[in-house]
Structure formats: C-alpha cells, structure tokens
C-alpha cells in the first residue's frame, strides 16, 4: 500500500475540478460554512445542555473537531481557486 495514501485526509486528496468555472464558487463556500456551523451547533448543544444525557466519548468529540478542520480546509481550497481564477484587482498605488 502506498504510504502517502494510507495517511491522507480526504481534503488532501480532493480538489476543485479542472472543468470548474473561473471565479469564486460562492454557493460551494456557503454550503461548506453552513455544514461547519451545523456541526459546531451540535457540539455547542452537547456542552450547554442541562439534561442528564450521557456525555459523548472523547473520540467522538475529536472527530467533530477534525470534521470542522477538514471543512475549513475545503473552504480554503475553494477560496484559493476563486482567487487564482478571478480577474486581477486594482492594488494600492496602481492597476494591474
């Protein structure tokens, strides 16, 4: 088995499709933000709940945090794609 692939995360292997349109993929970014927000809301409820529900195991809490980290990596990938494929913008002191 390839050592690189055996220790990879999904966000390390997935990227923006080569045939994706140029520009900022706002719908995809908004969706990723909503997903991360939903996961964090569930985590928040876990800690702020006043019920007698049992606490989640540490490995589940770690997976929740890892999921949000992965989603942030996805947002970064989408944002970098948008930046790399957008038209150049005016910079301070001059226009490109």
Q: What are the pLDDT digits (tens) for 26-82?
A: 999 999 999 999 999 989 988 887 777 788 899 999 999 999 999 999 999 999 999
Q: Which residue has the higher pLDDT, 94 or 73?
A: 73
Is 61 domain-assigned? Answer: yes
Is 13 domain-assigned? Answer: no
Q: Which pTM does this prediction carry? A: 0.74
The confidence band for 15, taking pLDDT boundaries of 50, 70 and 90, is confident
Number of domains in the chain: 1
Of 2, 38, 16, nearest to 83 by C-alpha is 16
Is 18 domain-assigned? Answer: no
Sign of the Cα pseudo-torsion (16, 22, 24, 29, in order)? negative
Sign of the Cα pseudo-torsion (96, 86, 11, 20, in order)? negative
Is 35 domain-assigned? Answer: yes
Span 11-39, average pLDDT: 88
Is 96 domain-assigned? Answer: no
Is 40 domain-assigned? Answer: yes
Residue 44 domain boundaries: 24-85
The confidence band for 89, taking pLDDT boundaries of 50, 70 and 90, is low
Is 93 domain-assigned? Answer: no
């Amino acid at each position: 088995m390839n050592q690189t692939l055996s220790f990879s995360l999904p966000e390390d292997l997935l990227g923006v499709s080569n045939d994706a349109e140029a520009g900022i993929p706002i719908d995809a970014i908004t969706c990723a933000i909503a997903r991360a927000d939903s996961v964090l809301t569930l985590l928040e409820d876990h800690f702020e709940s006043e019920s007698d529900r049992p606490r989640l195991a540490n490995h589940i809490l770690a997976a929740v945090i890892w999921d949000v980290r992965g989603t942030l990596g996805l947002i970064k990938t989408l944002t970098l794609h948008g930046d790399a494929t957008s038209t150049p913008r005016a910079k301070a002191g001059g226009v490109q």
